[in-house]
Structures are given as C-alpha cells and as structure tokens.
Amino acid sequence: MTTNNISPKPLFSKTLKAAGRIALLMLATFAAGSAFAQDRAITLEEALKLGIDNSKVLKLSQSRIDQAVSQYQQAKDRSLPTGKASFGYNRAQIPANTLNLGEEKFSLPTSANAWLGTLSLNQTIWAGGKLRYAQKSTELLTEVARLDADNDKDQIAYAVINAYYNLYKVLQSKKVVDQNLATIDGQIKQAQRFFDQGLVTKNDVLRFQLQRSNIELNGIDLESNRKIINYNMDILLGLPEGTELSIAQIDNSAKDIAPLSNYLDSAMINRPELRQSDVRAKVADYNVKSIKANLSPSLSASGSAYYVGISSNPIPKSGNYITPISLGLTLGWDFGALWTNKNKVKQAQLEREEVTINKGIETDNIRKEVNENYQTYKTAVEKINLLQTSINQAQENNRILENKYRSNISSSIDRADAQTLLYQAEINLELAKADAGLAYYTLLKSTGKLNK
C-alpha cells in the first residue's frame, strides 16, 4: 500500500496569496468609496454657481431661447424672394398622326421629343406690412423666452439658497445638541456623585438621564433631516451622491432694510413677469396691426425663364429650342376682407385687453408678495433680538439654579428645567438667525434682484 504525502505548504501559500488579493481589493474599494464620498465645505456663492451651471431646467430654458431665435430667423427668411427651378424630358409617340381637314391633310410626326426647363423668382414688395409685423412679433417672443429663462434662474437660485439655509439650520441645531449632551453628561456625573453621598435621590439622577435621552432623540431626528437635505443638495448642485456637505461660512448679520416703497418700486422694474407682460402687450399690438393689414392690397414682382427644346439631345442647338422670358408685377386685393376681417380685429383687440388685465392682476399679487416678505424679514430680525435677550435670561437662570443645586438648595427638577430652557433658547436663536437670512433672500427674490 502506497501513501502519497502532500505537503500543506503550497496550499497554505496559495490561501495566503488569495487572502492578500482580497485584502488589497477591499482596500482599493474602500479607497474608491472614500474618494467618492468626500466631505466638502461649501459657501453660498459656490453653491449658487454649481446650482445654476448644472441645472437641467436652465438648459431646457436655453433650448427654448434657441427655438425662439430660430423662429425669428425663419420670419426674416419669409421676406426673401422665393425661387424654383426644374428641368424635364418628355417623349410623345403618335400612332395616329394624320388629320383630314376636308381638302387638306395635316400630318404629324410619329414621335416627338420635348425638353422643358423653368426658372422663376417671386418677391413680395408690399403686403400691408405683415412680414415686418411677423418679424417684430417673433423677435419679441424671443425676448419673452429670455425672460422665462431669467425667471427660471431666479427659481433655481432661490431653491439653492433655501436648501443651503435648511442645511445650516440642521447643522447648527446638531451643534447645540452636542453641546448640551456634553453639559448634561456633566450634570449626570454630578447628580450621581451627590446620590452616592446621599444628598439626592435616585429619582434626581433619573431625571437628568431622561433629559439626556430626549436630547438624543432630537439629535436622531436632526441627523435624519440632515441626510435628506444633504442628498437633495447633491442632486441640486450636480455633485456626486454621497458628498457630505458642510457650511463654509454664512452671513447672519442683520441687513439694513430700506422703506417698503423702495422694494415695491424695485419689483415693478425688475420682476420678469411684469416685463414679460409688457413684451406680450407689444406682441398683441403687432397682432392687431397684422390682422388689419389684411385690408391692404398686395404687390409682388416675378420673373420667369423657360427653355423648350424639341431635339432628343438636351444640349441646345440653334433652331431646336426657344427661351421665352417673362417679367411681371402683380397687384392684388382681397376686398372680401372688408366684411370678414372686422371680427378678427375685434378678437385681437380683446386679447390685447386681456394682457393688460393680467398685468394688473400680476402687479397686485407681486405687491402683496413683496409686502408679506418685507414684514416677514422685519419680524425675523425682531425675533433674533428677543431671543438673544431670552438666552441671556436663560443663561443667568441656569447659572443660579446650578449654584443652588450644588448647594443642595434647589431640586433636580428645577435644575433640569433650567437646562432645558437654555437648550431650547439656544436652538431657537440659531433657527431664527437662519430664518432671517432666508427671509432676506426671499425679499430679494420678490423684488426681482436675487441674481443682480
């Protein structure tokens, strides 16, 4: 009986090498993942630039502008002369080619060739100005498309600002939570020490622990909100999914605010919706003129040249072809428009009035929007001042009760309540600062100066 002894060393070596490859692969994957999901501190200016540069909505707006420009160019092309050219060959077979005309007989050839070439040009000289009105209308509609793009740009910019401030609010609230957790941990240690010394009951320690649990629950909700906002911002800014964003800097200082009338006047000048209404009114005016132009006569010029050859060879030979040339002017008048056009003009005039009415409605809505945003910003600034005062009061109250608690004068309930009041006041202040900043940008947006 023969026994084959196989050394375990080669097998062990192969296993080790395989494990090494797996480890390297895992390391590479981890490194790639780390490179993919990078932390990024971003300023508001950077966020706005990224949001505008990567916006699919703005790319669609640019496509609409390009379409409007193309339509304008087509309207200009309609004022150019039209031309046509053709060249064809025909062959006729004439089996019955003799005509008897009484005493006379007329015979045709049994077959015939014909080459026919035509070249024509037509130019409208006058059509009541309809071509010019069409050009002006399409030019104005191009301006409307550009104003649409400006409005879309404002909407994108505001969406970025709104997301940026929401992220700031969450991050600041999380910072307050972390600070308060550190503080409450100190309170728990102190309460536990007092309990060990017999100065407080177990219930006092539990109250601080319960307070910590409530703060932790708040922190969990904030982290969930942060992840949602962060992901949405990655999409909005065109960044790789998984990029962890943080706020590089933010200006929370109160802005000098002008009288309400200044913001109202600015909105009347800069809001793209009102500028669009003005442009649409001009388009409606040109539409009325164009329809009225149907009553006008039209004048056009034309020129035509023909080549008629009877030889089977298309190359011209003297005596085998003719080349008639004609030039002409045509004056036409559709006088039926005298009784069929008046209702069309009336409809166009009503559409023009509708534009004016819509502008009035839009103006009222914008004035109300500006006033609401103006009052909201003023209220937000006042809240900051009030909350700052309440924080000072909460800090002083917390300090007094902390000293009393250490001296075993106040209860743990009073001590925990004081800490909770301070914690809530700190969060409220951070949220109020962010709300004021966002309210200021909301006011700017309502005046049409967000991107100016």
Asked whether the beta carbons of 317 and 164 are under 8 A apart, the reply is: no
Q: Which residue has the tokens 């949001």?
A: 51
Quick check: helix, strand or coil at residue 38? Answer: coil
Reduced to 3 states (helix: H, G, I; strand: E, B; else coil), residue 302 is strand
- What is the tens place of the pLDDT at every residue in 290-329? 999 989 998 999 999 998 888 777 677 777 888 899 999 9
> Computed from CA positions of residues 141, 146, 149, 151, in that sequence, does the dihedral angle turn out positive or negative?
negative
User: What span, in angstroms and rounded, lies between the C-alpha atoms of 69 and 138?
Assistant: 8
- pLDDT at 339 > cutoff 70: yes
407 or 55, greater pLDDT: 55
pLDDT at 412: 66
| pLDDT of residue 10 exceeding 80 | no
Work out the pLDDT band at 30, boundaries 50, 70, 90: very low
- Would you state the pLDDT for residue 440? 93
Average pLDDT on 121-144 reads: 89
- For 68-114, the DSSP string reads HHHHHHHHHHTTSPEEEEEEEEEEEE-SS-EEEETTEEEE--SEEEE
Residues 6+ apart with CB under 8 A from 176: 423, 426, 427, 430
Q: Is 290 helix (H, G, I), strand (E, B) or coil?
A: helix
For the ranges 14-28, 122-136, 388-402, 409-423, the lowest mean pLDDT is seen at: 14-28
Q: How far apart are CA 169 and CA 416, in angstroms?
A: 25
CA–CA separation, 184 and 300 (whole Å): 92
Measured CA to CA, the distance from residue 338 to residue 373 in angstroms comes to 53
Comparing 1-15, 70-84, 267-281, 438-452, the range with the smallest average pLDDT is 1-15
Q: Rounded to an integer, what distance in angstroms lies between the CA atom of residue 64 and that of residue 149?
A: 9
Q: Which residues contact 443 (CB under 8 A, 6 or more apart)?
A: 263, 370, 373, 374, 376, 377
For the entire predicted model, the pTM comes to 0.76
Residue linked to tokens 């933010």: 250
How large a percentage of the chain has pLDDT more than 70? Answer: 91
Return the pLDDT at 6: 40
Q: What pLDDT is recorded for position 85?
A: 95
Angstrom CA distances, 237 to 52, 97, 309, stand at 8, 84, 70
High-pLDDT (> 90) share of the chain, %:
43
Tell me the C-alpha distance between 201 and 236, whole Å.
53
Alpha-carbon distance values, 182 to 165, 185, 219, 258, 294 (Å): 26, 5, 13, 43, 83
